[in-house]
Amino acid sequence: MSHSPPAVHVALSGGRSYAVHFEPLAATPMHLREAGVAGSRVLVVTDDTVGPLHLGTLTDALRASEWQVETVSVPAGEASKSLDQLSALYDWALGLGIDRGTPVLALGGGVVGDLAGFAAATLLRGLPLVHLPTTTISQVDSAIGGKTGINHATGKNLLGAFHQPLLVLADPATLDTLPDRAFRSGLAEAVKHALISDTDLAPRLARDWDALMAHDPAVLGPLVRDAAAVKAAVVEADELEAGERAFLNFGHTFGHALEREAGYGTLTHGEAVALGMRAALHLSASLRLDRVADDLGDFAEADRLVRRVAPAPPALDPATLTAAMATDKKRTASGLRFVVLDAVGVPRLADGVPPEMVEAAWRFALRDPDAAEAASPVA
């Protein structure tokens, strides 16, 4: 008999809190009642890939528990984080005659979570939100923490709100239908959580990697749960990103630039973050030495873990990327801000980083490690 990993509890200021369960989707109705949801009707938002795979399991369970279920599906993919889709959700929900107690259930990856979450944040000044994440990224990261939003023509995630969920239920078994590329690259956020936290996640990820890739439930559920717990702890300490929550951006300043310059959709978000973490590790090594580093020193093992989720690097110019980073929204008055590591598990913010160190970090991350290994003489 398989056991679900224990829930993670996110405790926020003012006595607010919510649970993140790692259980089958069919347990949703039970947890809705436990979380204090009254009423008899729920709104479910999904996308047209996830719907055919997992919506039936959810709606069957809800209807068996006497919920009236209203469902809507948006096209799968990042393009749905748009004003048009948001507006269509408003029309749909308001046309149903909802009230402020009607919960919105977001069944899908980070796109559905961000879009439905923002709709829930703004409809009637806030409806209860339940995240039912179905991708590795959303289970270890985006469903926890309350960031919701959509994209604008001028950039990603520029319109949004903090709206904490009432409940999160992540069913690790839903990850079995995820394409391999999305499954693996989404684990970049789990690797990130391993590198910025003082936990045993990094050695466990390295040790159990093959079982994880095989979706072994004895390994997958507990690793997803513990990676999610890192996010929860950071959110608890800094709900509104005033300080330490910025550590979750490890690899992201580089990664966002890469996503933009490679063209959105070329790399997955996780792949861009993975290459971004390789650059951030190199920058960490340079800053520690106070000169451009020749190699990663004792960050080499962390880099081996990151490489498990990193794609072959795109052919981009390090100097162009260094210049392009100047437009990242995480800029501060003192120039570019990076999350770097003093050691694995010890992140810090670095401001005023010399551009030659940034460019050297790009050169390192954009060199294909497999090609480099093949070319080097065998010892």
Distance CA 297, CA 283 (A): 12
Give 164 or 322: the residue with its C-beta nearer to ligand NAD. Answer: 164
DSSP string, 179-227: -HHHHHHHTHHHHHHHHHSSSSHHHHHHHTHHHHHTT-HHHHHHHHHHH
For ligand NAD, the nearest residue by Cβ is 110
Taking the complex as a whole, the smallest distance from the CB of residue 55 to ligand NAD amounts, in Å, to 11
Q: At 134, is the secondary structure helix, strand, or coil?
A: coil
Q: Which residues bind ligand NAD (CB under 6 A)?
A: 47, 49-50, 53, 76-78, 81, 108-112, 114, 134-135, 137-138, 141-142, 145, 147, 156-157, 174, 177-178, 182, 186, 269
Residue 135, amino acid: T
Give 41 or 215: the residue with its C-beta nearer to ligand NAD. Answer: 215
Taking the complex as a whole, the smallest distance from the CB of residue 152 to ligand NAD amounts, in Å, to 13
Taking the complex as a whole, the smallest distance from the CB of residue 25 to ligand NAD amounts, in Å, to 10
Give 32 or 170: the residue with its C-beta nearer to ligand NAD. Answer: 170
Distance CA 18, CA 71 (A): 24
Taking the complex as a whole, the smallest distance from the CB of residue 294 to ligand NAD amounts, in Å, to 33
Give 134 or 322: the residue with its C-beta nearer to ligand NAD. Answer: 134
Contact 32, 130 (CB under 8 A): yes
Token pair for residue 266?
């070329």
Give 76 or 346: the residue with its C-beta nearer to ligand NAD. Answer: 76
DSSP 8-state code for residue 50: H
Question: Within 13 Å, how many C-alpha atoms sit on residue 183's CB side?
Answer: 15
Token pair for residue 52?
């055919």
Distance CA 50, CA 60 (A): 15
What residues contact 41, with CB distance under 8 A and at least 6 apart? 67, 68, 69, 70, 98, 102
Taking the complex as a whole, the smallest distance from the CB of residue 157 to ligand NAD amounts, in Å, to 6
DSSP 8-state code for residue 36: T
Give 170 or 366: the residue with its C-beta nearer to ligand NAD. Answer: 170
Taking the complex as a whole, the smallest distance from the CB of residue 154 to ligand NAD amounts, in Å, to 15
Give 59 or 286: the residue with its C-beta nearer to ligand NAD. Answer: 59
Taking the complex as a whole, the smallest distance from the CB of residue 240 to ligand NAD amounts, in Å, to 13
